[in-house]
Amino acid sequence: MSLFDKIGNRKVCATTPQVRSNHHFDVLNSFPTSVCQPEIYKKLRESIPVIDTAIYKLVRLTGGFTVNSNNDKNQAQLNDFVKNINTGVAGKGLQQFIDLYFEQLLTYGTAAGEIITDGYNIDSLYNVPIRDISLKRNPKNFNEILVCKPDAFDGTPVPYQELVMYSTLNSEPGALVGNSILKSLPFVSSILMKIYDSIGQNWERAGNLRFAVTYNPGTDMLDRAYAKERAQQIASEWASAMESGSVKDFVAIGDVQIKVIGADNQILNSEIPVRQMLEQIVAKLSIPPFMLGLSWSTTERMSSQQADALTTEIDAYRRILTPVIEKICSLYLRLLGNSNGVNVIWDEVTLQDSVELAKANLYNAQAQSLISGGESDD
């Protein structure tokens, strides 16, 4: 049984005041004090497709891994465990657990997981929702961080802390929780959402035309006497002619003018402000624009500088995830009587085209050959 199974529905965020807004993501307008940060980050992913796509890209780019035991005795059992361990409704395999763990880490800045045992073996792995935990220092040991159930008593430490894992991203000095990669995006994203909302309203008005029908009575006394009745008749006939699902002619006698309301107003060009906001978002997420479906330049290939920068980001993320993998697999082996530890080997990061990489290796080999030849001549 999970240590956290009784608090899945507990609400630990501050309540959000009602804010009147024209779009569906009001929580962005109340940033930063009226709602808890996790709720903001969740809404950001729901409202801005580029943000959601970037997080999934980072998870995929981090790649897979293999786990080797320092003792070959239990390697086959370890391989089976890594491949088939239950991870709840998410599926099977340690890779699935780590992907969800990393996604949570990127989104909220803090990730938590639990090793569920049956008393003798590891039964499954559980990705703990961030709302179901709180962190505090052990008053008896400053260096020990306790994972707690959030409650009215400043959090109750869960039993068997050795079965709980948590990681933080970009933590500030003295802080127990990390910072999401989305930390600086709510303000920029709220502007982008307002632009999109305005575009939607403008196109709704442009596609749902409204008309002004004006009747000017003539100089004849009879026309002026019955001007009101004639105007009502013209309005009725015009409404009948414009009914959806039918095509009718509208015939009027006299001075009748029909104009589209707002026809002279042009819809503002939103391309530049939208791109400015998206550039800020993409810069924060550290993903090249073309990988997110954005075509802002004539080249669609990743430069070596971009590849090096992204590889550095991925290596940093792997350093955070490696201890989690080691803790799970080492515990599994200890339950089998093997205390020799494990070694995590990540798949090679391949961001450049294979042809370009082969050319680079060839040029390096040629340069090294020339250098060696020059030294031998001396």
pLDDT at residue 354 in the model: 45
The enclosing H or E element of 259 equals strand 255-260
346 beta partners:
65
pLDDT at residue 20 in the model: 38
Residue 176 in contact with residue 37, Cβ under 8 Å?
no
Q: Is 238 helix (H, G, I), strand (E, B) or coil?
A: helix
Instruction: Map out the domains of the chain as residue ranges.
Output: 26-189+273-347, 211-260
pLDDT at residue 24 in the model: 47
Residue 105 in contact with residue 157, Cβ under 8 Å?
no
pLDDT at residue 99 in the model: 93
Residue 171 gets which letter from DSSP?
P
Regions of the chain short of the pLDDT cut 70: 1-36, 89-90, 152-154, 204-209, 222-223, 244-247, 262-268, 296-304, 351-362, 373-378
Q: State both tokens at 238.
A: 């015009």
pTM of the full structure: 0.71
